[in-house]
């Protein structure tokens, strides 16, 4: 780990259709005086009213970035097709529960730098 600070702000959120994987794009800046590296992590918080208990947040993607002092890079982090889903054993399928999910970006789950809520529609998909 370098001496830089992760400063992410979501610039673009691209969501695929069907089995296409969504991607999160953010900018990372090294505000330190030395070259450094940072790992940007993408967390997904599920809707509050899901029919089953789920973790508060789940890490769904990450990217390691090396930066010179004062440098900024735009990073695209791909997410798996099931990033917003849970597996339903009875239906034997991945289920997207409807409701407001939140994407969070940070270097640590204890220090979230950016949040973007979005509405997720219900969907049922065949097993991958």
Domains and CATH numbers, the chain: 10-123 (2.60.40.10)
Q: Please enumerate in sequence order all residues whose Cβ is within 8 A of that of 90, keeping only pairs 6 or more positions apart, or say none.
A: none
pLDDT in tens, 4-38: 444 444 333 343 333 455 778 888 888 888 888 88
CA angle 84, 89, 90 (to 5 degrees): 120
**φ and ψ at 91, to 5 degrees?**
-85, -10
The tokens of 45 are what?
Answer: 């918080």
Question: pLDDT at residue 123 above 70?
Answer: no
| Residue 60 confidence class, pLDDT cut points 50, 70, 90 | very high
């Amino acid at each position: 780990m370098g001496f830089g600070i992760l400063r992410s702000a979501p610039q673009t959120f691209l969501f695929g259709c069907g089995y296409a994987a969504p991607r999160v794009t953010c900018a990372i800046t090294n505000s330190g005086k030395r070259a450094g590296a940072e790992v940007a992590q993408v967390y997904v918080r599920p809707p509050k009213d899901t029919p089953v208990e789920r973790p508060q947040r789940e890490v769904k993607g990450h990217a390691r970035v090396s930066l010179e002092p004062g440098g900024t890079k735009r990073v695209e982090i791909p997410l798996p097709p099931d990033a917003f889903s849970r597996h339903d054993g009875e239906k034997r399928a991945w289920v997207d529960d409807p409701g407001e999910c939140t994407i969070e970006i940070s270097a640590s789950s204890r220090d979230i730098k950016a949040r973007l809520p979005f509405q997720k529609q219900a969907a049922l998909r065949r097993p991958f």
